[in-house]
Amino acid sequence: MEKKDKPIGKTTIAPDVLVSICQLAALSVDGVSHLTSVPREVNTLFKRGLSEGVDVTVEDNFVYADLYVVLTRDVVIRDVCHNIQAAVARSISEMVGMEVGKVNIHVEDIDFTGK
């Protein structure tokens, strides 16, 4: 008996899932203190994910993410940002199977209170 290569259904990924994946991946990187709210314009006031520090869009099956982070003190900012980009891209690719277009990191502040 031959197995047919016919799809049995459709999988839909909610935007909040992509936001959560980005958050978890970014927070797992050494040097990240926390994420901060995305600067908002009036037309994006009710868009999801912005209060959690992540802005995700999907265009032509590519994921584009902007993350707004606060880093810990005594880190090399460029290295931490590169690690965040790699972690987010890998997580989206492995967990969801979507291709990543860009992962932009916006360093909003440095946390001097902790170590």
Cα–Cα dist 30/80, whole Å:
7
- 9-63 pLDDT, tens digit each: 888 888 889 999 999 999 999 999 999 987 765 445 455 555 688 999 999 989 9
Mean pLDDT calculated for residue range 73-99: 96
Percent of the chain residues topping a pLDDT of 70: 84
Is 95 buried (19+), middle (13-18) or exposed (0-12) by CB count in 10 A? middle
Q: Where are the domains of the chain?
A: 15-39+49-111
- For the cut 70, the answer to whether the pLDDT of residue 4 exceeds it is no
**Would you state the structure tokens that stand for residue 105, as one six-digit string?**
């990191």
Task: Report the topology of domain 15-39+49-111.
Answer: Alpha-Beta Plaits (3.30.70)
pLDDT at site 43: 45
Confidence (pTM): 0.83
